[in-house]
Amino acid sequence: MLARRTPRGGVALFLPLRLARVAQCGLCQCLLPTIGTFARGTPRTSADGILGRTPQRTSSPCNSSNFVCPQADPLFPSRHRALDNRLADRFAERSYRRAAIEAFGGALRIPTASYDDLGPVGEDRRWDVFAELHQYLEGAFPRVFAALHVTKINTYGIVLHWQGSNRTLRPVLMTAHQDVVPVDPATLADWLNPPYSGLYDGTWIWGRGSCDDKSDLVASLQAIDALLEQGFEPRRTFVWAFGFDEESSGTEGAGHLAPYLEDCYGTNGFAILLDEGGSAYGTAYGGDVTFAFPALSEKGYLDVQIEVSTPGGHSSVPPQHTAIGMLAAMIVELEAHPHPTMLTRESSAFRTTQCTAAYAPEYPEHIRKLALEAVHSDEALEALKRALLETFPVYDALLRTTQAADLIEGGVKVNALPERAAAVVNHRIVESSSVADVQTRMADVLRPLAARFDLTMDAFGRPLDVGAGGTGGHLALSVAFGYALDPSPVTPTGPEDPYQVFVGTVRGIIGGSKIHNTSHSVVVVPQIEVGNTDTSRYWNLTRHIVRYSHVREGDRYNGFHTVNEAIRADGWLESVRFFTRFILNWDEHL
């Protein structure tokens, strides 16, 4: 038993979980029997008080001295076992399903869109719709807003505090966001049901936010309400924080919530943070193995504006290169020099590869073999990188800093030479790099073009000597929109880290679900989030951040941020069950 001291002097006890380790033999048929093969019959209460099942391992010819991607045993409530069973019965009731789906649909009917050009709260009236959502949620979940301590931050940020009886334990933080991406009016005719209808057609729940992220928001409230209804009184404190501009800047929502939470609970004051993210769980690699994909890190973020300023004039007497032509050449030069791909043993991509190679029933055997050898061989590591890029195109985005010229402007009239042309290049920065690295590299790539076009140049506030007289004009590189973010810290995954409680919860909830084939093995595979969530504001609150939405593959009708956003009702209700189990497991895992 390890004692961990809280930032304010209390002591939190963290019970280590047993790990079902997997031999690193590189053969699927050799690895699979060692996971998820449990004796049928009565669950067993282990010595640490966590309800589990005794694993039955088959003999294996693999070398068991090395192990990859260990999996915590499925975790079930022990002290709260009777409560967990009552909740299961409650969730199965038709009346509960109808009421939960209607509550969700009501939230979807409120168009809480966040826009990139929103002004501060209190100055821009477009924020006012969030007051309507708050009024609705407080009416739909009166028990939650009466029993928990509610704090509003920057008017529309919501913090719910459920005080536990043991104040020495670090609280658990769960987050979601209230806002949705706007609906393009030009796409309205393409929606099968109106985007803010909240319609339930007997299978699907339709509406913007049904997948991102009112699904997690309302499921969290449903979970709290169900626990309150059953008389649950936590020993550990639980906190929920709901931002309201995650889809734009995050400045007004999580940007204000983060300092409030750090002030109240301390730096590294939370045991774990669970937010949206990851990939849908399912049989991504065929066979009878279900994979769940939480994200334990995020790429960094940087938008760079390239601005070319040149003398104007009449277009009938043009120079050899206009500002637009120079800008176009610079974009071509950047695309001709993509950032290099890198695969290191410390990277999230390497961990993802090791896990999938170890457990996937259908996986290229040459990559499986290379993954095993790459643990110790640099030559095999380089060969593994090449094989991944050739076989799985998505690795091109995972293994490098990506760059994409997404915005461009220039010129005001067809017969006037443009005096200014600008573009914005978006970067998602790989773990081994940084904002500073990307800025330096971009300046180095474009410096020769500045000299070629006789442009003076400054990059991110620093003048650069490119050996040009400046007769052609000026090139300026700057951070667009004033926001830049280094890659996130990576959540620890050691055998005694909080992550293992999450893994055990996921394996237990999927394996015991009535809508799943319970004969399937369940494997939790950490990955990197290529986008960014509100957690980018919360790094000071805990080292243990998990980005995961409990959604099964096929339960999103058409994904998110697009037309016909909808979620399967049965799948969404499973997320309510997941949240309650997560809370109960953490309340026991002291």
- Label residue 408 exposed, middle or buried (CB < 10 Å: 0-12, 13-18, 19+): middle
Q: How far is CA 73 from CA 2, 332, 524, in A?
A: 19, 51, 11
DSSP 317: S
Q: How far is CA 424 from CA 118, 306, 338, 427, 435, in A?
A: 20, 6, 16, 10, 15
Residue 307's closest CA among 407, 409, 421, 405?
421
Q: How far is CA 470 from CA 171, 320, 466, in A?
A: 59, 15, 10
Tokens linked to 518: 């319970």
Q: How far from chain centre, in Å, is Cα 64?
A: 33
Residue 424's closest CA among 441, 443, 409?
409
Residue 473 in contact with residue 293, Cβ under 8 Å?
A: no
Tokens linked to 15: 């019970």
User: Residue with structure tokens 């826009």?
Assistant: 115
Q: How far is the C-alpha of 230 from the C-alpha of 514, rounded, in Å?
A: 22
Point out the catalytic residue in the list 73, 84, 179, 587: 179
DSSP letter for each residue of 374-385:
TTT-HHHHHHHH
Query: Mutual orientation of helices 94-108 and 129-140 as an angle, nearest 10°?
Result: 170
Pairing of strands 545-547, 272-275: parallel
φ and ψ at residue 519, rounded to 5 degrees: -80, -10
Residue 473 in contact with residue 309, Cβ under 8 Å?
A: yes
Is 246 part of the annotated catalytic residue set?
A: yes
φ and ψ at residue 165, rounded to 5 degrees: -75, -20
DSSP letter for each residue of 382-417:
HHHHHHHHHH-TTHHHHSS-EEEEEEEEE-S-TTB-
Tokens linked to 505: 């919860």
Q: How far from chain centre, in Å, is Cα 368?
A: 27
Sheet with 149-153: strands ordered across: 149-153, 157-162, 238-243, 172-177, 272-275, 545-547, 295-298, 527-529
Point out the catalytic residue in the list 84, 212, 213, 246: 246
Is 179 part of the annotated catalytic residue set?
A: yes
Q: How far is the C-alpha of 114 from the C-alpha of 251, rounded, in Å?
A: 12
Q: Say whether 341 sits in a helix, a strand or coil.
A: coil
Q: How far is CA 64 from CA 25, 38, 494, in A?
A: 8, 20, 19
Active-site residues, by number, are 179, 246
